[in-house]
Structure 1
Amino acid sequence: MAATPVTDLDAHIDEAIAALELERKVRLLTGAAMFALRGEPAIGLAPMILSDGPTGVRGAEFVGGRIACLLPNATLLAQHWDTAVTEEAGALLADEAAAQRVHVVLGPTINLHRTPLGGRLFEAYGEDPLLTGELAAAYVRGLQEKGIAATPKHFLANESETDRTTADSVVDERTLREVYLLPFEIVVDRADPWAVMASYNLVNGVPATEHAELLDGVLKGEWRYRGLVMSDWFATTSTAASANGGLDLVMPGPGGPWEGRLVAAVRDGRVAESTVDEHVRRLLRLAHRVGALGTQREWPTDLPAPDGLYRRRQLRRLAAGGMTVLVNRNETLPLASSGTVALIGRHAVETVAQGGGSARVRPPHVVSIADGMVAALGADRVSVADGVEVRRHPTAPPPEALRDPEDGRPGMRVTARDAAGAVLGSRHVERAEVLLSPGGWLESAATVELSAEVVLDRPTRMRVGVRGLGEWVFRAGQRRDTANLRGTGALGEGVLVPHAWTADLELRPGDRIIAAVRPGGDHSLLGLVARPAPRPAAEVISAATRAARDADVAVVVVGLTEEQETEGLDKSTLALPGEQDALVAAVAAVAPRTVVVVNAATPVLMPWLDRVDAVLLAGLPGQEAGDAVAAALLGEVEPAGRLVTTFPARDGDGPAWSPVPVGDRVAYAEGTAVGYRGWFREGMPEPLFWFGHGLGYTTWEYGEGDVTVHRDVVRSVAVTLTNTGRRPGREVVQAYLRPADPAEPVRLIGWTAAHLAPGETARVEVPCDIRTQRMWDAEAGGWEPLPAGGAVLIARGLGDVRVTLPLIG
């Protein structure tokens, strides 16, 4: 629990600040390490630990840290359209943080899905600002009610990963206010987050970490935000400008642009000491809230284990319930209780549970879809066929694929040597990768050697190699190679998207891989590659069609990988990687029925859509992936999710497409018509699937609707709803405002969920948010209501409007 409340916290904090000289105050305002803040015994301040989120608490170790729960990704949770779900996720993460003695979780991510090519969309809630804001506020409440700080990020207009540290997001003031600031405004108003993270990018020419207009003017001024503003990691590039612009904490540390340089800026009058005091005040307020100031918090010891039955059931439910039925012809889903299933695809046997980048955690396990379906139906009913290759770049093999040549444990041996070749240290590492970073045990190594025995029961053609920046010497079996993997110097390149070298060769049981590297950077992920060499696509597809022809139903699992859904990179296409489209088409041509499961968090193209019987969007389902997919396919849990972003039918369609800066500028030219708001305009092509779409496992009839308006603002709508199907179901009733002025885009103003039994009828009321029914007048610098009139649309997604209620202008 948090620290004992101080009777007059502000006075207590003022006394603490007064007791510190300038150098000691400034020292607190830069991280002590990559994910740690300094303590100050003189004022009773304990060190604080931060951890990446938002789908798991990784802890202070970037690689090889503690085993932790891996939740379904943010879009999958958001597809519930249920604030209770994100609040539950926040509470779960608070427990996970407490188990690791972490004070601050770096999440939620509440940037918007401006373009479907964004590489980091899997961390964010969707393309609508109201939905994003309400879901994020609930997540923050779930964390902070248990004394763990949340950190909504990335403030602001950080919707691209390409050149994210230098790109200038060019956004007009009205669009900033109505769209991109709105989720943060809702979170500040409804959840009072204890920290906010400023982003890497520039906003209209000013770095976000020193944007006084946004940080001091809007966030701390207009919204009266009393929490702390921290930088994204290595994002701060100035001293006086950032200190005067509203930034409170520079991360990480030690070092960086503050510390001694900020002391000097105060001494020469460029920064007032009162400004430093205000930053420290906010830091100490955060410390008090998380139990690190004064009486120290007591950490619980009886929390559920990440692999315990309670967490496994919880995570299975959270994943399965957010999955979305996109197509279901002739009630193909849920699958019948009898008959045989051919389960096909690389994503079936190597299910992708999380996206790439800093948010990755080390789960206790990942249940593959193959294992989940076999466990649910039995091996006699399920045949499993591998799919085509889906990755261009290798990943770390599972620990059980390698063993330490010295002690035989799963994993590898890491040996550090100095320039003369003397051993500085040798350790067993459970994973086939290790992080080289300042302050780590490998920091002073001139060379790092990775060695492992490949676990084989017979001679096998393997794809082996190395990952990470540097000059490598590689040996495997009788082969010796060299590889020089050089980077461009881009932030995170050596860690988030490490370069790799591989070769295919025959290995025998007992063969070893030995790779020595002269590292090519201060921050670099170093690892081994070892996996069976890929087979030709034609051979794989032929085997898949044979399996499909002999089964009652074929379930083909396709998707993206961390190569497309990752921090640090954007996509260039929505097409599935590899020959997955050809695989689906070939199976659909011979199978009696074909179900496609999409193991991806964001839109993909589906050129085979008219040839398959059902499509289930499974997202990135977390550690219980396979059990959750099985539960959804078999109807044990209704996959009642609704889309949180619009799916284009073709590359290039939509109001915004490329996230790549042009001349260092990302122009938000679509203005307020982001996502479905732009799609709904006249002249736009029909998307593949609309925002809000989702079928579930029953059918619904919408009856009479009405609307309550007060002072030209829609306060609520109501509709009569009947479950006309044969199964109980959950319906998400969505309310949209279509303004009278055609230049003003349609916008979501409210939603609510109803759970009804077959044949049951209910009157469902949808409360509507007034913040989406206003316009920002940039000239006057204030809000004004939208012109009266227009209509309210009650819908099952914008592609299925059931009731239109005109408003009197």
Structure 2
Amino acid sequence: MTTTDTTTSTDYAALVARLDLPTKVRLLTGATAFTLHGEESIGLSPMAFSDGPTGVRGLKFTGGEKVALVPNATLLASAWSEDTAREVGELLAEEAERQQIHVVLGPTINLHRSPLGGRLFEAYSEDPLLTGRLAAAYVNGLQDKGIGACLKHLVANESETLRNYMNSVVSERALREVYLLPFEIAVDEANAWSIMAAYNDVNGVAATEQDHVNNVVVKGEWGWDGLLMSDWYATKTSAPAALGGLGLVMPGPDGPWGEALVRDVESGAVPESVIDEHVCRLLRLADRVGALGGQREWPATSLAPDAPERRAQLRRLATDGMVVLRNEGDVLPLARDTTVALIGRHAVDTVCMGGGSATVNPPHQVSVAQGLSEALGDGVTVVDAVPVRALTLPARTDLVRDPESDEPGIRVEHIDAAGEVMLAVHSDDATVTTGWDDDLPRPTEVLRLRAVAAAGGQTRVGVSGTGSWVLRVDGDEVGSVVLTAEGADPGEAVLKPPQWTTDLDLAEGALVEAELTIVRSEPQPGPDGKVSTLSHAIASGMGMKGLLLEEVPRPLDEVLQDAAAAARDADVAVVVVGLTPEQEGEAADKSTLALPGEQDALVRAVAEAARRTVVVVNAATPVLMPWADEVDAILVVGLPGQEGGYAVADALLGVREPAGRLVTTWPAADGAAPAWDVEPTDLQLEYGDDTFVGYRGWHAGRAATPAFWLGAGEGYGAWEYADATLVEDTVEGDGPQTPRLRVSLSNTGPRPSREVVQVYFQPSEDDEPVRLVGWGAATVDPGEGTTVEVETDPRLWRRWDESANAWSTLQPGGELLVARGLGDIRARLPLA
């Protein structure tokens, strides 16, 4: 189903013809961080964009209004449901309407090529078909309500290390068959209205200048009529980017276009017709989202992010994607009269979202401790445990209060060069961004962060963010430091800022004050020897700043003894472990899949002491579980959004089945994957796995057997596959064969359950990888059976012939595999 197109028969070329060259070029760079220019003479209103993809943050990077925090993309994708993806798109459209946002910057549809990728949490899967089909449904949900979607990031942007400078080296075949396929599906099936070009180069050409990808393939072969925008600060040139298909530079108001692009047109380096086409596409987007020919009428009322209906919806969506990987002796779901020792830092400080541009300011984030304690009352004993972060957290709201309003949080003051306080605001999360979306009359020269300690004791206090800091407690200086960005990528200064801390014996009620003097400097060249627009912004003081405050960690032996003692006294120990935004966030990749800190030691100490042990994994991407055979159950809950703790409780207690299936294969050890390295060599990152990405490479023997395959998941049912038959094996015109299957299955378990029937195709050619070609799902009562029909996708029966520079059909033959993940194949059907 393709999105309903709301455009009229507007003559965009005629409107463009009424504009002079400087005006046209002005429209092709943003007006601010997240808005575009309007132009009254042609009825064009300003448009507002907002980061997604799992929450519509609004126009402020930090400190904006409260918005709904949706479960992360991998958790939503784990439902293997296009209906779920569409519902999320509709939800985000409602959130966008509430904030008068025209375009949501999502979905992220890069693939999980290496499990080390830091930003995998906001992308769907390692499989291009699953990713593309879910993306199309999400886009349709958004755009049917008149809110534009933006597919990102085009293309081969599967890792974060040196992303502004690195070159992804990808064969044309892999590019076409794997990495462009999700974009192609979302264009074919949903006609996404905008696409975002990535930071990286692709085969030696910047993604923002990719004539081959942007003009030849996407606009030419696919016939796409939308607007191609840059990722923020990704545009490197004037004429090459304009000629390479880029239509909008973000953010604004500065950038590499402006007067430079006007000169390029006047000199003949860029034909004015190219500019006209870009503006036509921008006007088409404006028309589609109601910003052309009159102001869009926004709903007078909307559902608040903490409304009961929204909370129930987010709770349900989170539980539906949770994955049961182990359930020995049916320890799950837990009985209501079970006594539980709930153990782990992630239990009391549950990570509900990833880091970077996917972060939002939710009305609340429910921890697992809160959710399970409310469900079981005195039956739960909660034990905090080992630290999980290498860095110190921004001051939590339960630890500090605003000295002016007495609200949980801190007071932030922006001060100009004359010493005048231009803005004094409250911050819930103890962070603020300078030089990005300030809306201040003058630049901030001094930033003052103040808070009152809500409790006393040994406390780690500090600051984060570049600049010259002075830290005071009750007026007395306790430290000063000049922080500069580390690493070669300037994006780390914004999203992974440096920090400094000191341990103090802090008295309850003490006033903690951190004062930052902004340090401006000459922009520095990157590893490629060039000075980027982002380098200019960082040099001018842009970045995230924060006040840090947390308890000093206790000795490890003491923590493990307390955890083991609680486990011995309960019927079941539930240990919550996982990752943090240090591993699952923008601007950096992981170096290992091992759980951070001493979490493995915690699980083993608890498992040795407890009668039964359940491990809840609060992570969106694969982690190593060397203790997997020592525990009774494993439940993967992803980054479950604002209602996360309630959703986890529902899953543990069987209020709602955690019926998810993995969307990424989990390796058994570091390095044991078809693709591993994410750090480029001499700025080159070779996609050596070619078309054998993820499970395709594992199935071909290119890595040791994984711990868990894509598609794995038990739910709370038990399944028998009686038979699988080929219903149809036809050829449509000159296209590939498109088999359709019918599978009979029975739920032999004791409770209603949802099963996902997966169909993979193993071609007859030796150099062709296995690939997912379709899936179907059904919910079945205990003791009952049903039939599931699966239509396979014809796009998976073709290959890109590099010598002919064209698509060809795979050779006849091969076999279809009916499976619950490739580690549990239930039927094989040979094809003639």
TM-score normalised according to structure 2 size: 0.95
Q: What secondary structure is seen at the aligned counterpart in 2 of 1:135?
A: helix
Match of 2:9, as an amino acid? D
Aligned equivalent of 1:474, options 471, 475, 491: 471
* Contact 1:437/1:523 (8 A) holds in 2: yes
Q: CA deviation at 1:651?
A: 0.2
Q: CA deviation at 1:435?
A: 1.3
* Contact 2:61/2:437 (8 A) holds in 1: no
Match of 1:26, as an amino acid? V
* Structure 1 equivalent of residue 272 of structure 2: 273
2:235 maps to 1:215: no
* Mapping for residues 690-701 of structure 1, pairs under 5 Å: 690-701=709-720
2:155 maps to 1:156: yes
Aligned equivalent of 1:570, options 565, 589, 612: 589
Distance of 1:430 and 1:722 partners within structure 2? 50
Distance of 1:208 and 1:573 partners within structure 2? 28
Distance of 2:672 and 2:473 partners within structure 1? 47
Q: What secondary structure is seen at the aligned counterpart in 2 of 1:153?
A: strand
* Structure 1 equivalent of residue 85 of structure 2: 86
Q: What secondary structure is seen at the aligned counterpart in 2 of 1:48?
A: coil
* Structure 2 equivalent of residue 354 of structure 1: 353
* Contact 1:79/1:322 (8 A) holds in 2: yes
* Contact 1:3/1:291 (8 A) holds in 2: no
Distance of 1:399 and 1:761 partners within structure 2? 51
Superposed CA deviations along residues 28-51 of structure 1, whole A, max 9, x for unmatched, are 000000000000001000000000
2:755 maps to 1:731: yes
Q: What secondary structure is seen at the aligned counterpart in 2 of 1:32?
A: coil
Q: What secondary structure is seen at the aligned counterpart in 2 of 1:735?
A: strand
Q: CA deviation at 1:188?
A: 0.3
Q: CA deviation at 1:685?
A: 1.4
* Structure 1 equivalent of residue 461 of structure 2: 464
> Structure 1 275/588 Cα, relative in aligned 2: closer, same or farther at 3 Å?
same
* Contact 1:110/1:136 (8 A) holds in 2: yes
Aligned equivalent of 1:798, options 805, 812, 822: 822
Superposed CA deviations along residues 441-472 of structure 1, whole A, max 9, x for unmatched, are 3852332221111112xx31111111111111
Q: CA deviation at 1:4?
A: 12
2:695 maps to 1:676: yes
* Contact 1:3/1:288 (8 A) holds in 2: no
Q: CA deviation at 1:413?
A: 2.5
How many positions carry a matched residue from both structures?
802
Aligned equivalent of 1:539, options 536, 551, 558: 558
Distance of 2:95 and 2:416 partners within structure 1? 38
* Contact 2:25/2:262 (8 A) holds in 1: yes
Distance of 1:730 and 1:612 partners within structure 2? 25
Match of 2:694, as an amino acid? G
Q: CA deviation at 1:580?
A: 0.2
* Structure 1 equivalent of residue 130 of structure 2: 131
Distance of 1:265 and 1:24 partners within structure 2? 15
Q: What secondary structure is seen at the aligned counterpart in 2 of 1:298?
A: coil
* Contact 1:450/1:528 (8 A) holds in 2: yes
2:379 maps to 1:381: yes
Superposed CA deviations along residues 615-652 of structure 1, whole A, max 9, x for unmatched, are 00000000000000000011111100000000001000
Q: CA deviation at 1:476?
A: 2.3
* Structure 1 equivalent of residue 19 of structure 2: 20
Distance of 1:682 and 1:501 partners within structure 2? 46
* Mapping for residues 521-532 of structure 1, pairs under 5 Å: 521=539, 522-532=541-551
2:15 maps to 1:8: no
Q: CA deviation at 1:58?
A: 0.3
Q: CA deviation at 1:764?
A: 1.5
2:708 maps to 1:709: no
* Structure 1 equivalent of residue 781 of structure 2: 757
* Mapping for residues 338-417 of structure 1, pairs under 5 Å: 338-378=337-377, 380-417=378-415
Distance of 2:45 and 2:702 partners within structure 1? 59
* Contact 2:623/2:666 (8 A) holds in 1: yes
2:648 maps to 1:615: no
Aligned-residue Cα RMSD (Å) equals 1.6
Q: Which runs of 4+ in 1 moved over 4 A?
A: 2-7, 418-425
Q: CA deviation at 1:719?
A: 1.4
Match of 1:759, as an amino acid? G
Q: What secondary structure is seen at the aligned counterpart in 1 of 2:714?
A: coil
Superposed CA deviations along residues 325-364 of structure 1, whole A, max 9, x for unmatched, are 0000010111123220000000000000000001100000
Q: CA deviation at 1:425?
A: 4.7
> Structure 1 530/682 Cα, relative in aligned 2: closer, same or farther at 3 Å?
closer
* Structure 1 equivalent of residue 526 of structure 2: none
Match of 1:254, as an amino acid? P
> Structure 1 23/86 Cα, relative in aligned 2: closer, same or farther at 3 Å?
same
Q: CA deviation at 1:509?
A: 1.6
Q: What secondary structure is seen at the aligned counterpart in 1 of 2:739?
A: strand
2:682 maps to 1:663: yes
Between 1:511-520 and 1:121-130, the stretch displaced more is: 511-520
Distance of 1:530 and 1:443 partners within structure 2? 30
Between 1:608-617 and 1:502-511, the stretch displaced more is: 502-511
* Mapping for residues 575-614 of structure 1, pairs under 5 Å: 575-614=594-633
Q: What secondary structure is seen at the aligned counterpart in 1 of 2:157?
A: coil
Between 1:607-616 and 1:477-486, the stretch displaced more is: 477-486
Q: What secondary structure is seen at the aligned counterpart in 2 of 1:585?
A: helix
* Structure 2 equivalent of residue 769 of structure 1: 793
Q: CA deviation at 1:416?
A: 3.6
Q: CA deviation at 1:762?
A: 1.6
* Contact 1:736/1:750 (8 A) holds in 2: yes
Match of 2:467, as an amino acid? G
Distance of 2:147 and 2:4 partners within structure 1? 12
Aligned equivalent of 1:742, options 751, 762, 766: 766
* Contact 1:3/1:295 (8 A) holds in 2: no
Distance of 1:596 and 1:91 partners within structure 2? 33
* Contact 1:436/1:442 (8 A) holds in 2: no
2:654 maps to 1:635: yes
Q: What secondary structure is seen at the aligned counterpart in 1 of 2:153?
A: coil
Distance of 1:438 and 1:555 partners within structure 2? 42
Q: CA deviation at 1:122?
A: 0.2
Match of 1:382, as an amino acid? V
